[in-house]
Amino acid sequence: MYRLTIKTGFAAAHNLINYQGDCENLHGHNWKVEVTVTARELDQAGLAIDFKVLKRETNALLDELDHKYVNQHHFFQDISPSSENISRYLFHELSKRLNDNNIKVERIGVWESDNACAEYYE
């Protein structure tokens, strides 16, 4: 098995729902996002997946959130846009775009600060 990870990010505002504290107020983060995929085999070029493709698909998805109010995104209409829920959303959406007979999204890590990360995996 091979494991590949990229790091990227986005900046956006949100407020947590049903949270008793300051984070229930509107605030923003410069989120860092780690995407890890696995592959069983390499292609003829010796690649599991081109990093360029992995970055392009990830950043296309992050463009939906970048410099936006995350609470207004369709996925977060009924759930709190916590780092946990953002990581789950990104996992499922990237899985639709990338998973095939060889590539599988393994985990998504969403860092809301240098010291706090939520990961989602299945």
> What's the CATH code of the domain at 97?
3.30.479.10
Contacts of residue 60, defined as CB under 8 A and 6 or more positions apart, other chains included, come to none
User: What's the confidence (pLDDT) of residue 2?
Assistant: 98
Please tell me the predicted confidence (pLDDT) of residue 102.
97
What's the confidence (pLDDT) of residue 55?
98
State the average pLDDT for the chain: 97
Active-site position among 34, 93, 106, 112:
112
Angle, to 10 degrees, between the axis of helix 83-98 and the axis of helix 51-62?
130
- What is the predicted pLDDT for the residue at 12? 98
Average pLDDT over residues 19-31: 94
- Confirm or deny that 73 is annotated as ligand binding: no
> What's the rounded mean pLDDT across residues 39-46?
97
Total tally of structural domains belonging to the chain:
1
pTM greater than 0.75: yes
Residues spanned by the domain of 117: 2-121
Q: Which of 24, 41, 67, 122 is catalytic?
A: 67
Q: Is position 112 annotated as part of the catalytic site? A: yes
